Amino acid sequence: MARKPRAEAHRLKNHECMRKIRQRQRLEVQELQRNVEQLEQQYAELSDNASAKAQDIRLITDSGLDYTEAVAVAKQLGADKMMLQTQLMQKAAWRRQLQRILDFETSDIASTPQPPGIVNVRINALDEVQAHEELGFQPLDEWTLTQTIVENKREIHHVETRLLQPSIFDASDDMRTHRMQAFGWDIVQRVENSVMEFVFTKKFVGLNVLEIMQKTWNSYMLLDEFKKIKAETQRLQMLQQVNQNALVFVRDVGSPSDISLFRSVFAHFFIESTADDGTRYVLSTQSVSTKYPRQPSELEVSGKLAWANLSLSIEALDVVDQSTGETYQRIRWVGRTDYCSEEHAQRDAADTLQSMLRWEMLLVAPALTLASLSID
């Protein structure tokens, strides 16, 4: 029998891996549901018990029985009330965890194809021992990756909800939110203290969005290519390949200030999903925890190195307007970054806008030109 192509082998391997993840998630969901049902039953029993003991106190009081007995019953009732409150808090925590898993179940990551070209890209990698000693990085498993993806989706949704609703915050936020249009982009940015949030949206026609996302994926792997988009980048090394659509990197970005270097450790992942109005491709970046014991570097001790937190997303959507039949493509950059101070957040706002424009010039403009020439 002929040997299967490498791409097909990778696809089957990824499919099997994600099948196991979803099977484990289903078992966890079932366990969570059982726990929630148990907590609800305990809640009902404790409520009934509390009501009964309250009635006992009234009976004791009415009948004039021993005072110490009434005090003992009252204390027991107080203990039951505390237990009830604890059970309610635990029930709420279980429900939040259950909702996070169910939210992830709506994602189509299992069917996401591997972006072609990654197998042939030589990525600068840091070995696991050095990554742990220098960065405090612990390799992600598939469950931790799932939590990271859910966290990114939640952060991005929060930013979109906050910034795509004009006038809710604009009139009262002391000019922290800026809205404008430039080069066909609808641009919204907000800086508050050390946090910068943004949404950039543009409509295209005749753009092969999957091809653009594949090229973007590869550009984000290589330092020399990524510096063309974000020129301040000084370091880009892979720490782990969790699967063919998810990798972990460390990135250092230079800054002309008292803090000369900002460092981030993040997961970078590719997801394809089907929306009501078309097919969506998403490249996301989400900071991961590096809180494990490690030796601080000289730069950190001197205060010249700081850690930046990132929640970023580039979404490309093929849209079919159901009312007109028009087909077009929508690109949206969304993100939230924390660069330690408002001064650095303001600088990051300018850098991020420039990076988006460089990305369009380097990757999107040539593709549109080529598409136009092919039509002619």
Tens-digit pLDDT profile for residues 343-359: 999 999 999 999 999 99
Superfamily of domain 119-375: START domain (3.30.530.20)
Q: Which two tokens stand for residue 111?
A: 């069917």
The larger pLDDT score, comparing residue 34 to residue 132, is at 132
| Structural contact between residues 199 and 349, judged by C-beta atoms closer than 8 angstroms | no
Q: What is the DSSP letter of 112?
A: P
Half-sphere exposure of 319 (CA within 13 A, CB side): 16
**Alpha carbon distance 150, 100 (integer Å):** 7
**Alpha carbon distance 11, 113 (integer Å):** 7
Tell me the pLDDT band of 300, cut-offs 50, 70 and 90.
confident
pTM of the model: 0.70
Percent of the chain past pLDDT 90, that is, above it, reads 38
Q: Which two tokens stand for residue 355?
A: 């990076």
Q: Which two tokens stand for residue 264?
A: 């981030």
**What does the pLDDT read at residue 179?**
92
**Alpha carbon distance 268, 161 (integer Å):** 23
Tell me the pLDDT of the chain averaged across its residues. 79
**Alpha carbon distance 187, 168 (integer Å):** 16
β-strand pairing of 185-192 with 177-182 = antiparallel
> What does the angle CA 236 – CA 237 – CA 239 come to, to the nearest 5 degrees?
140
pLDDT (average), residues 103-116: 51
- Single-letter residue type at 59: L
**Alpha carbon distance 351, 223 (integer Å):** 17
pLDDT (average), residues 216-237: 93
